[in-house]
Each structure stands twice: as structure tokens, then as C-alpha cells.
Structure 1
């Protein structure tokens, strides 16, 4: 049995009892409704295991887990293709990549404490104690999700702890853009950060995003195009109809087709082709436009729309790498006893370590709904 040294306390008779206090003498060992503190703490540890196993659906569709500090991407090859074979000749060997680009991932440590005094625990029910735990879980989920989306929507180049460049999407920064199906792009003029020219999204904006991602080859391996929108933009997108002229004087090439989650309505049109699914990767789908499934999320900042090629939950083909520590003990959200070791619930530390970086720079494109010609990343208050 553990024993703990307590400061001298003055008894009712004015004497100072001092000495050692055993575990059975602790002032509070259960909540007001009789639930043991150690039992609640053990339950929280189990809930964190489930939480880490089932990451947010949005995070999972946009990212993949990695423990690497960086990935390398070939920037070209020496080979000029096949040549005519001769009867006695020796074929020319394919060249090795002439250059490689390091795509780094940031890495930071985050923490939060839960501190409940013995008097608070004496009067709190388990439900009240649980509310603190749930609040921290929500904060952790928000931190990871907004970190990934912030990397997606921000072209600003960052630096990893090891000194490697951490990139956003292609941003006309001169880095090589791989050719696809004989098509090439000017790396100094091609950016995946666009502006709409107005404060309202038009069908042409969405169609530009679709083309930009598809032409880079990021749907050739089975990825699905996802149009991520804030609810403030989804109503406008739901009104898109083929052939109808929009504010920018262009005509929509496709219809918005609602999914089975749409409210009941009277229709006279006949649907040709497959209806959009009601969900993808655990996220509800409100409909489709062209090749893209439209997904509504409050995490997407208002005034911005993103087109993302997703390979599915935690697929290596996803856009953003979510870097975790090589040691499994330091991955995910961890619950650590604080200084009050006898009943860790009295003081608990929640710790999390991760970083982000774009691995596939052409697998997404975003548009800011603004009349300005220059793209500006969302500010902190938009998240």
C-alpha cells in the first residue's frame, strides 16, 4: 500500500497530528453519487483508446497518418522514353530522378490540464465530472481538424523542426508540377489558390476546381472528388442547374443532384445516371455536382470552398500528412496523471503531439469568394 506524507494539520484539540496518512484515510475517494474516482479515471483511459481509434471522419478523408519527418517527390527523370530496338543493340537505361523535393511535416506538442479540488469532487456527480472530459475531447478534435484545414487553405510555406520546407498546395512558387498524360504546367504560373471574382460562388468556380484536380491525375487511381463547403455556400450550390446562366454570365454544365438526405420534395425531372450516395467515409453527402460529392461542414470557413481528391479514410493518396511520433506511446490524445498521483482524476494532463504538411500538392484546390484578385488565407477568427 502506498503511503503519502502530508503537511502537519491542526486537530480539534489544537495539537498537530502529523505522521503518515494511508490510502484509506484520503478525504475524498468518490463523487457525490458514490462513483469511485479511480474507476472514472480508468473509464476515461478506455474512452481515449476508442477516440484515438476513430478519428474525425473529416480528418480521415483529408489526411493520412505518418511518422516520417518528410517525404521526397521526384522532380523529373533523365529518360526520354522508348527508342527503336536494333537486332544487336542494347537498350538505353532509364534515368534516375534528376532531383527530389523534400515535403516536410511540422510537429508540435500540445497539452491541457483538468484540475478538480477534493471539495469539488465531493459535491460533483459523475455526469458533471464527465463534462470536463468531453470538453477536452471536443477541443482536441477541433485542434486536429482545424490544423489540417488551415494547412489546406493557407499557401504560406512553413518550416519543420528538422529544417525541411512544409508546403501547401501548388502556389506558383516555381516547384515542379509532375506531367500527366502528356500535359505539363508552368510551375511559376500555376496556383491551386483561386479567387472567384465575386462574393458568391458560381458553377464556373466549381468546374474550375474539378478540372484543376482531375487534370493533375488525382482521380486516376480511384480517388473521389469531394467539394467541401460551409452551410452558407451550400444553398447556392444546391440551386445550380445545367444551362442556367449565373452571375458571371457563364452557364452551368451540370445539375446539382440532391442525395437521399435531402428534404422531401416534388420533382418532375427524370434522373439519368447514378444518384449520389447519402454518405461517404462517414460524412453525410448533401448531393453532387459533376464528378464531385458535395459535403457540408461547419469546419470549412465561410467564404471559401475546397475541392479535394480523397482515397478514403486514412488513405496514402489523401492530401495532407498527419505526422505523429515514431514511438506509439506518444501518439494520439494521451491521459497522464498529474501531481496528485493517488487519485489521478484530481489533476490530469491531456497531451497530444502531431504535425501537418501537404504531401500531394495537386490533389486539392480552393477558391476564395471575393472580388479581389489576390487570394488571402482564412484568418484565425474564421475557424
Structure 2
């Protein structure tokens, strides 16, 4: 083979990974290891937050179910004491209910070629990461709220993977009766999925939602609990509520028992009236508030479906009295939004990554929330979440 010109043989041709093959920086000179470290740090912070709605109205659990005592029948009354003999022995008959919590896994992938990583900037990688965080927010928000708003009567409810029935709020199913509270008893037709009976919201609708929760002992100011009414932003519902005045008729002839009070984040305005009591805060537990009506704070968001008002009572983030349980895996290393990979190549920590979250949301306190659909007639329809 003498006299034949051979091309230059590179390290890759010999089976070696030479220095030129190792990608270490983005196009704008930021080390990929630094970008990766920043992404992991932001995930840690993200998991502490977990979204305002999900955090404020849930509590954490790793259990597949909660075992709850049903309302027992009252025992014997006290007897008038007698000099002779002994009183009857009192006993109650306890019955138990197991309420299941789901647990499902969700994931999303990012896949970058080495050529893409050579040309990309650190800001572009950060934007892609931020987009995945936003998708995680949508997922947890949608699953949290749909656990409340989806009416699933007995016989049509799902079961979790351990075989326990996953419940909704009180839905009027036969044989399911809320526990009595404060001397008030309830029937098996008790329902927390309401229909307004008119095409426009009125003050009586809000008062009914508040009462539906407070008559069970939830959302009472003396218990340091708060009811939040959630509705779609820039829709007819919050626009009407802003006009409610005590003693004045509003939509459908309803006469308001309370005034709408704008929060302290409202733009300044002039009024001849004075406020008795405190002005609601513009932000409460991180949640933006636009005002109050009676004992309820008001929250509006474009994520809330049109035509619904959702009422929730909360004792604060993580309280066991909150309406929902947020279930995660028993292994704590699998909690939160994770970034994992099947690619073990240390030189390319971002090349083939999977965002993974395992969680499920189930109703724990069926009396601590209520939902009303604003429509003229018909039965309650489960909303469609974005």
C-alpha cells in the first residue's frame, strides 16, 4: 500500500473520545454543569412552593386511604339518680369508612442533541425549563381542583390501585350522611354540588355556598379558618359581585346580607361611605384576593372554568382540616417534581432528561368545600378544566 495517501486519523476513529468531542459550554460560554446545577436548585425551590392552590387547600400524605368514623347513633340519655340500683351502661355503635387517595405518575421529556447544545444559549435552556415548570403548575392545579368539582356518585366512583374508593364532596348518594354538627343533623340527600337556578349570580348564591360549608363547622372565623370563593377572572360573576351592597336588591331580586369590600390591593377610589371592620388583604397566604363578601375572601383566575363558583375552607397550608389530601409515594426521595435520565453520560447532563411527578389528590373532608354552577335550570355538570 506504499504510495497511497492516507487521510488524517482522528481520536474518534481510533475509538477514543478526544477533548474536542466533550461538550462543556453553551454558545454564550456558560458551563453546562452550571446550567444543570441551577435547574436542580430551581426544582428544589419549586417543590417547596408546589403551587398556591395545591398547597393552601390540601395536606400531604403517603397513605393510600383514610379510615374515618361515621356519625354514631346517640347513646342512652342520663337517668335520674336512684338510691337503689345502678344506671344503665352507655355504649355507641361505631362504623368506619375508608376513603381512598389516588397515586399516578406523569412525565415529560426534553431531548437535546449535542449540536443543539453547542449552539444554544443559557437563557434558551432556562426558558425551556421554565416551560416545563409551568406545565407542572397546570397539572397540579387541574388535578387539585377537578378532585373537588367532579361529582361522582356512589356506583360510578373510581378506585385507587389499592382498591379503595375515591370520594368526592357530599353528592346526595343514598346512605351517605354527613356527621351532625352543633346540634344540626343532615339527610342522605345532602349535596355540595349546587345549581343556582338563574343565569346570573346573585348574593343569595354566595350566602348559600358559605352556609353549606359553615353549617358543618368549617370556615368559621372563630376557628381561625377562612372560606375562599374562586371564580373566573373578567367574567360576569366577579363583575356582579363587585356591585353587591347590604340591604340592596341585586340580580334575581336577591337582597344582599353583606357588602362587597374591595381588598387593599384595589386601585384607589373615592367614596362617601366608611368601612366598619378590616379591609381584606390584597394577598392572603400568597393568594391574590380582590375583595370579600361576608366571611369569604374572593379569588379570580383565568384558570377557573366559566360559570362556576368554587368555595373552599382552609386552616392554612398543610392543615388536616383542609378538604383535600395530596398523596405522594411512601419513598420521600420520589416526592415533588423530579429530573431523571436513562442516559448516564456525565458529560451531557441535559441531553436526555425526563421531568417526572407522582401524586394524586382525593377528597378527605367532604364538608369543607362546595361548588355552584351558575345556570337557570338542570342538574350539575362537571366542568371542563384547561
Aligned twin of 2:3: none
Q: Which residue does the alignment assign to 1:344? A: 349
Q: State the shift of 1:198 in Å.
A: 2.5
Is the contact made by 2:55 and 2:317 (CA closer than 8 Å) also made in structure 1? yes
In structure 1, how many angstroms separate the alpha carbons of the residues matched to 2:354 and 2:186?
A: 49
Give the one of 372, 377, 380 matched to 1:375: 380
Tell me the equivalent position of 1:225. Answer: 227
Aligned equivalents of 1:78, 1:271: Cα separation in 2: 46
- Deviation at 1:283? 0.9
The verdict on how the C-alpha distance between 1:170 and 1:12 changes in structure 2, with shifts beyond 3 A counting, is farther
Match of 1:278 in 2: 282
Q: Equivalent residue for 1:20?
A: 16
Which shifted more, 191-200 or 85-94? Answer: 85-94
**Residue 79 of structure 1 contacts residue 93 of structure 1 at CA under 8 Å; is this kept in 2?**
no
Counterpart residue number, 2:209:
209
- Say if 2:329 is the partner of 1:325: yes
> Following the alignment from structure 1 to structure 2, what is the Cα–Cα distance between the partners of residues 58 and 191?
23
For 2:82 and 2:67, how far apart are their aligned partners in 1? 37
2:160 counterpart of 1:155: no
Alpha-carbon deviation of 1:27? 4.1
Using the TM superposition, give the Cα deviation of residue 365 of structure 1 relative to its aligned residue in structure 2, in angstroms. 0.7
Match of 1:38 in 2: 33
Unaligned runs of 5+ in 2: 1-5
2:86 corresponds to which residue? 89
CA contact (8 A) 1:223 1:317 kept: no
* SS of equivalent to 1:158: coil
Q: 1:304 aligns with which of 303, 308, 312?
A: 308
2:319 alignment partner in structure 1? 315
In the TM superposition, what is the alpha-carbon distance from 1:176 to its structure 2 partner? 2.3
Deviation at 1:90, TM superposition (A): 6.0
Does structure 1 residue 360 correspond to structure 2 residue 365? yes
Q: Which residue of 2 aligns with 1:7?
A: none
Matches within 5 A, 1:65-144: 65-80=60-75, 82-84=77-79, 85=81, 89=86, 92-95=89-92, 97=94, 99-144=95-140
Q: Does structure 2 retain, via aligned residues, the 8 Å contact 1:27–1:118?
A: no
In 2, Cα distance between equivalents of 1:144 and 1:90: 56
- Are 1:227 and 1:307, in contact at CA under 8 Å, matched by a contact in 2? yes
Distance 1:62 1:350 in 2: 25
Structure 2 residue 52 is matched with structure 1 residue 57: yes
Q: Normalising to structure 1: TM-score of the pair?
A: 0.91
Q: Contact 1:325 / 1:353 at 8 angstroms: preserved in 2?
A: yes
Q: In structure 2, what is the Cα distance between the partners aligned to 1:86 and 1:235? A: 66
Equivalenced residues, count: 368
CA distance in 2, matches of 1:26, 1:81: 84
Partner of 1:165: 165
Tell me the TM-score normalized by structure 2.
0.90
Q: CA deviation at 1:279?
A: 1.8
Return the alpha-carbon distance in structure 1 between the equivalents of residues 8 and 82 of structure 2. Answer: 109
Q: Please state whether the residue corresponding to 2:261 is helix, strand or coil.
A: strand
Alignment of 1:240-259 (within 5 A): 240-259=244-263
Give distance in 2, aligned partners of 1:147 and 1:115: 26
Superposition deviation, residue 25 in structure 1: 4.5
Please list every run of at least 4 consecutive aligned residues from structure 1 whose deviation after the TM superposition is greater than 6 angstroms.
none
Deviations, residues 225-249 of structure 1 (Å, cap 9, x unaligned)? 1111111122221111112222322
The farther-off stretch of 325-334 and 247-256 is 247-256
